[in-house]
Amino acid sequence: MTFDARQFFVRMARALNEGDVATLSVMVHPEVVSDFPQSGERLRGIAAFLAQIEEYPGGPPENADLPPATVLGDEERWAITPAYTVVPLAGANKYTVITRAVYPDGSKWHVVCIVELRDELLYRSENFFAPDFEPPEWRREFAEIVARE
């Protein structure tokens, strides 16, 4: 059977949002490293990865009703960061996953993860989070406002 990266990450996003440690434990490489650049944290190993799920304040959200993850990785893609650094979004065993998460206060956040797989397991991840916010007044005359999921 051929590995389906999109289904893998949709399943993983669902397991993360549901706090499903049993599912995650078979999807994560034992030597996983997960970085959170916005807070400067690094989690090393599956025990640390799973502990952050188990200790999530308030436990997993109930009825989060989140859209499925979007996965980029079928071809090589690049992005430019706000600091004008060029970063790869996808490549061999590398994917970018775009999803949503619910924080303990009930707010929904956008999540972008640049990930690498090894042996069809999550091996490396760099995770970025952003809350919903109203568009700034200065940009409203140029922007079309679309519905958020």
Domains assigned to the chain: 5-131 (3.10.450.50)
The SS3 call for residue 28 is strand
- Secondary structure element (H or E) that encloses residue 43, with its range: strand 41-44
Could you tell me the pLDDT band of residue 73, with boundaries at 50, 70 and 90?
Answer: low
For range 56-67, the mean pLDDT: 71
pLDDT > 60? residue 143: yes
For range 16-38, the mean pLDDT: 93
User: Cα separation of 11 and 17, whole Å?
Assistant: 10
Could you tell me the pLDDT band of residue 68, with boundaries at 50, 70 and 90?
Answer: low
User: Cα separation of 141 and 130, whole Å?
Assistant: 23
Would you report the helix, strand and coil content of the chain in percent, each value rounded to 5? 20, 40, 40
For residue 92, the model assigns a pLDDT of 65
User: Cα separation of 74 and 95, whole Å?
Assistant: 8
Phi, psi of 145 (to 5 degrees): -90, 125
pLDDT tens-digit readout, 79-130: 777 777 777 665 568 888 888 888 888 888 888 999 999 999 999 999 999 9
For range 5-24, the mean pLDDT: 86
